[in-house]
């Protein structure tokens, strides 16, 4: 299956360069380009790409605002946002995830890393390393300043095994790593994660991470922002 990509960046030369890098892959194709956030939203609604590669700093409507607007539109539920920016600050990563982005990478990545990032996000996975998940997501999404209230009851729809999967996803583990820890097959792990996403109305794994912190399923230690897994895997003794 070919992944359809929309590029949103205010620099035409960068759009051309990224477009060339992506189009060289047989399974990726660039279907459109936007020079600002407003145009990115308009073209996303018009073209329905699988992935929008979104810059943050653009004139008029910035990339974070555009990301939030796209992710809030139920008609665009199948479109994923990959934030690609030179501004790789912790707060930008947190803001991008809160807006609904599925991934966050810097513009200094290599060609194959960029192609891999697009494929990863298109598949519904989160493009955040375990380190980024622990240090950034824990530090910023678990703070009292979060816009959404603390809602542990949101997890009541999950089975104990699904809660366990969500907690492990929130610590930055891949499906294969979770499978190794739980002695399940990666296919079974993926099925549990997908069911949890459906029940929680999460677009992707990034939103599962957000929910895990906001519901208190996992939490950050106060000293260095690392994940406290002491209560992170309820039901881990289940068969």
Predicted pLDDT at 71:
92
> For 196-223, what is the mean pLDDT?
77
Q: Could you tell me the residue ranges of all domains in the chain?
A: 3-127, 140-228
> Which of 24-28, 81-85, 97-101, 205-209 has maximum average pLDDT?
24-28
Query: Which residues in 47-82 are b (16+ Cβ under 10 Å) and which e?
Result: eebbbbbbbbebeeebbbbbbbbbbeeeebeebbbb
pLDDT value at 229 more than 70: no
Instruction: State the first-to-last Cα distance of the chain, in angstroms, to the nearest integer.
Output: 35
Fold equal for 3-127 and 140-228 = yes
Confidence of residue 88 (pLDDT cuts 50, 70, 90): low
Closest Cα partner for 155 from 142, 144, 140, 165? 165
What pTM did the predictor assign? 0.64
Convert the pLDDT of each residue in 55-81 to its tens digit.
Answer: 998 988 999 999 999 999 999 989 999
Mean pLDDT calculated for residue range 21-45: 95
Compute the distance between CA of residue 79 and CA of residue 81 in angstroms, rounded to an integer.
Answer: 7
Residues 140-228, CATH architecture: 3-Layer(aba) Sandwich (3.40)
Average pLDDT over residues 20-40: 95
Strands 28-34 and 51-54: unpaired
The per-residue pLDDT for range 155-204, each reduced to its tens digit, is 999 999 999 999 998 877 778 889 999 999 988 998 999 899 899 988 77
Euclidean distance between CA atoms 143 and 132, whole angstroms: 16
Q: Which of 41-50, 200-209, 222-231 has the lowest mean pLDDT?
A: 222-231
Mean pLDDT across 135-161: 66
Task: Name the more confident of 229 and 172.
Answer: 172
Q: What is the mean pLDDT of residues 221-229?
A: 44
Sequence-ordered alpha helix ranges (H) in 48-124: 63-72, 90-99, 111-122
Q: What mean pLDDT do residues 101-112 have?
A: 83
The residue with greater pLDDT, 210 or 231, is 210
Confidence check: pLDDT of 43 > 60:
yes
Q: Homologous superfamily of 3-127 in CATH?
A: Response regulator (3.40.50.2300)
């Amino acid at each position: 299956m070919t992944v359809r990509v929309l590029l949103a960046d205010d620099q035409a030369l960068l759009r051309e360069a990224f477009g060339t890098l992506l189009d060289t892959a047989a399974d990726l194709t660039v279907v459109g380009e936007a020079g600002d956030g407003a145009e990115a939203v308009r073209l996303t609604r018009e073209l329905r790409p699988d992935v929008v590669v979104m810059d943050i700093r653009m004139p008029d409507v910035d990339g974070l605002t555009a990301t939030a607007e796209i992710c809030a539109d139920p008609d665009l539920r199948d479109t994923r946002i990959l934030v690609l920016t030179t501004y790789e600050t912790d707060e930008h990563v947190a803001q991008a995830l809160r807006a609904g982005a599925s991934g966050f990478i810097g513009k200094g990545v290599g060609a194959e890393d960029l192609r891999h990032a697009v494929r990863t996000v298109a598949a519904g996975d989160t493009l955040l390393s375990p380190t980024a998940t622990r240090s950034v997501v824990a530090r910023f999404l678990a703070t009292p300043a979060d816009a959404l209230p603390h809602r542990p009851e949101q997890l009541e729809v999950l089975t104990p095994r699904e809660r366990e999967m969500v907690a492990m996803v929130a610590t930055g583990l891949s499906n294969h790593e979770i499978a190794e820890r739980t002695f399940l097959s990666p296919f079974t792990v993926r099925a549990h994660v997908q069911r949890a996403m459906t029940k929680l109305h999460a677009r992707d794994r990034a939103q599962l991470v957000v929910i895990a912190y906001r519901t208190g399923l996992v939490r950050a230690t106060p000293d260095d922002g690392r994940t406290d897994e002491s209560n992170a895997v309820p039901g881990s003794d289940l068969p």
